[in-house]
Amino acid sequence: MTKKRIFSASILLMLLIAALVGSAAATDTTSPVKTTGVADTTIAPSNSSMAPSGTPPGAPPDNISGTPPGNPPGSTGDGMMGQPGGSTGTADYTLSGAFTVDNQTIAESNGTYTASTTNQSAIYVTNNGNLTLTNATILTSGNTSSSDASSFYGLNGAVLANNGSTVTITGGNITTTGSGANGAIPTGNGTTINLFGINITASGDGGHGVMATLGAALNLVDVNISTTGSHGAPLATDRGSGTVNVTRGTINSSGTDSPGIYSTGVINVTDATIISNGTEAGVIEGFNSINLKNTTLSGGVEKTGGIMVYQSASGDAATGTGNVTINGGTYTATAGPAFYVTNTDANINLTGVNVTAASGTLVKAAGGSQWGTNGTNGGIVNFTADGETLNGSLVADNISSIAATLTNGSTLNGAITNASLTLNSTSTWSVTGNSTLTALTDSSGISGNVITNIIGNGFTVTYDKNLTQNSTLDGKTYTLTNGGNLTPA
């Protein structure tokens, strides 16, 4: 009798435990559309005292929009073009995906992948995972709780890869509507996302089309991208650098402070069309680059122009010379200078590209109140034109410099203010206004007291006779072709 009662009590206890477990399972109604593998990656808070791996020198952004201190330029408002968000809290953030591939190799076709939860990716590939998708439909609508974490680590990105993983998607669509929702974002060295023949649309604020951070790589072929939210560049890199390679495709941005290209790394574009409406065509921060080949590029705002090269205090980009290289194609600066350089050095190299500066200013180097220390925050520009016909002025303020070199039959039609000029035997300068040269190197064009490859058009050009670079001019006045003269200041 005693054993029977003990046995019955044991059965009742087991039934009670089973009922409790079943009840807990029944209350879980938030299961993702698809899950594969397990990954729970916690990232440090965005305002942690410990900088993330790969962080360049400098402080992180100090406000919610990620704007460096001061009032940066832009089309409207005070936000910076495509900048990452600023610190937004002190809690840790967990990277997660509705469809997660953790140290696995998976291939799927014709799948639909969705996420609507705050901070959740539709697809998350981690720990050397390898995912191949064909004709995928990828949709996210959740918002981010940390714009820094979204820009640096991919929180809330539709397709997120890290820790040496590889994602390849051929065909289909990626659509994001939430804040901080980047279309595709690989983070970390050895991590790569390859996209072929897909369409990406990002409409939320801080939603970039694609972004690579912390040394990761993106390869795009025949990819079309459209962003409409503020601070959402279609092509971008962020903290710790990254590489983006683009071949063909049409790229559009229309949100406030959303340039077509925002580079804190290396962005290479070939045979593509990039149209930025109401903001810069491209921005380079720090020691980074934009390289275009046979590409159509358009955009610009009055203050910061079409392509801007600058150094902020955000810490998102290492300090150094920014590089712009354009080979072939067309570039239209719809407002402001075609190239604007401030608080940094820049190399600008043009070869056979059709450049239009609607404002009439080709290159401007100047300090300002937005970045750096007033009085020492000018721009230093090396500008080289190879086989170019250029219309527009070169302008440097008194804390900046421009060194322009024309080669291989290049022609500059414009005025020059506080810049040096080097002309080879096949190149010419047609002066369109009284000008001030710091230095002139023109060994082939000077014959006696006449300069044959500077078309003066009746204007006066002065030079600094005290500079060593001008010693061959011997402090003389020279007659220019078609009227005008070159004379010591």
Domain boundary assignment for the chain: 92-239
Alpha-carbon span 239 to 57, nearest angstrom: 11
- The whole-number pLDDT of residue 371 equals 85
**Span 429-433, mean pLDDT?**
98
- The whole-number pLDDT of residue 39 equals 52
Given a cut of 70, is residue 264 above it in pLDDT?
A: yes
**Span 162-171, mean pLDDT?**
99
Q: Which residue has the higher pLDDT, 393 or 318?
A: 393
Contact 189, 250 (CB under 8 A): no
Q: Which residue has the higher pLDDT, 356 or 373?
A: 356
Q: What rounded mean pLDDT belongs to the chain?
A: 85
pLDDT class of 92 with cuts at 50, 70, 90:
confident
pLDDT class of 89 with cuts at 50, 70, 90:
very low
- The whole-number pLDDT of residue 151 equals 94
Q: pLDDT tens across 294-306, in order?
A: 999 999 999 999 9
**Span 376-398, mean pLDDT?**
97
Given a cut of 60, is residue 95 above it in pLDDT?
A: yes
Given a cut of 70, is residue 36 above it in pLDDT?
A: no
Question: pTM, whole model, 2 decimals?
Answer: 0.84
Of the ranges 10-14, 269-273, 334-338, 373-377, which one carries the lowest mean pLDDT score? 10-14
Given a cut of 70, is residue 185 above it in pLDDT?
A: yes
b/e burial code for range 332-344 (CB count within 10 A of at least 16 → b): bbbbbbbbbbbbb
- The whole-number pLDDT of residue 318 equals 75
Q: Which residue has the higher pLDDT, 396 or 3?
A: 396
Q: pLDDT tens across 190-208, in order?
A: 999 999 999 999 999 999 9
Given a cut of 60, is residue 59 above it in pLDDT?
A: no
Q: pLDDT tens across 137-160, in order?
A: 999 999 999 999 999 999 999 999
